[in-house]
Amino acid sequence: METGFTFANTLAALLTIGIISFLWKDNLLYKICEALFVGVSAGYWFVILYYQNLLPKLFDNLGITQIFGGDPGEPGALQVLFNEGRADSRLLYIFAGILGIMLLMRLLPNIGWIARWPIAFTVGTTAGLYFVSYFHSNAMAQLESSIIPFTSFNNIIIVVGTVTGLIYFYFSAERKGVLGGVANVGIWFLMITFGAMFGYTVMSRMSLLIGRFDFIFATWLGLV
């Protein structure tokens, strides 16, 4: 990265200072940076999703890119249909396009209900996918890794922590007697987990902050 007072560095530094200034109080510079961030983020993902999903998966497969003079390397389903007279399986992508356009109907209040179809499709797909993948990779795989012999102190910690933590999430019986005691041990393990995860998160945020200060003081101002 170029160092010093270039236009690009100054712009990036002013935007960084603008966001950090919120720590002092809500001010005009922060509000400008925040509004710009919202707009640029929306635009950024708009462009990314167009090039990474819509263009290769919808427009190239159907042949819409080729109609507008683009060259993705092979004829699309529409070219195959009209030039060779056969139906390519990629023609089915038209349904994905129709569902996508139906989703955009949400913007029109009178026919917004049409968006329920693609929403139902997305929710159904996600539910089906998660039903299988979470059960397989999270529940079963985690259980498999937790059933280990008591040959070391660390193994005992893993087994006891997992089992007591799971018992804490068992809400179908009153927490008293042995169940209450075991659930309490589970709470201790969960507290250690939350504390460790919190510490880890703080450190990752701090490293981002150090990165921004490094940019301002080393790259932009050249003081370090």
Partner 1 sequence: MRREIPLILTAFVGFTYILQFFIPHAPFNQLDRMLNEWIQVIAAFAIWLGALNLMKVSLNKVSRQSENWPFALITIFGFLLTVIVGLFLSGGRGYQSPGTGFDYIYRNIYAPLSSTMFATLAFYVGSASYRAFRARTKEATMLLLAAFFVMLGRVPIGDYITAFLPKGYRLSDFATWIMNYPQTAGYRAIMIGIALGIVSMSLRIILGIERSHLGGEE
With CB under 8 A as the contact rule, the residue among 24, 25, 26, 46 that binds partner 1 is: 46
Q: Could you say which residues in the range 172-211 bind partner 1, by CB under 8 A? A: 186-203, 205-206, 208-209, 211
The residue among 224, 212, 150 whose CA lies nearest residue 19 is 212
With CB under 8 A as the contact rule, the residue among 154, 172, 176, 224 that binds partner 1 is: 154
Cα distance between residue 152 and residue 160, in whole Å? 12
When the beta carbons of 79 and 146 are compared against partner 1, the nearer one is 146
Residues 212, 217, 222, 224, CA torsion sign: negative
Mask of contacts with partner 1, 107-136, x by CB under 8 A? x----xx--xxxxxxxxxxxxxxxxx-xxx
Cα distance between residue 195 and residue 199, in whole Å? 6
* Residues near 146 by beta carbon (within 8 Å), at least 6 away in sequence: 158, 159, 162, 163
Binding status of residue 139 toward partner 1 by CB under 8 A: yes
| Helices (runs of H) and strands (runs of E) counted in the chain | 10, 0
Q: Could you say which residues in the range 15-44 bind partner 1, by CB under 8 A? A: 15-16, 19-20, 22-23, 31-44
Q: Closest distance between partner 1 and the C-beta of residue 223, in Å?
A: 18
- Please report the DSSP string for 127-144 in residue order: HHHHHHHIIIIIIIHHHH
Q: Could you say which residues in the range 47-66 bind partner 1, by CB under 8 A? A: 47, 49-55, 57-58
Q: Closest distance between partner 1 and the C-beta of residue 218, in Å?
A: 14
Q: Closest distance between partner 1 and the C-beta of residue 136, in Å?
A: 8
Q: Closest distance between partner 1 and the C-beta of residue 52, in Å?
A: 8
Q: Which tokens in the block code for residue 211?
A: 């990165």
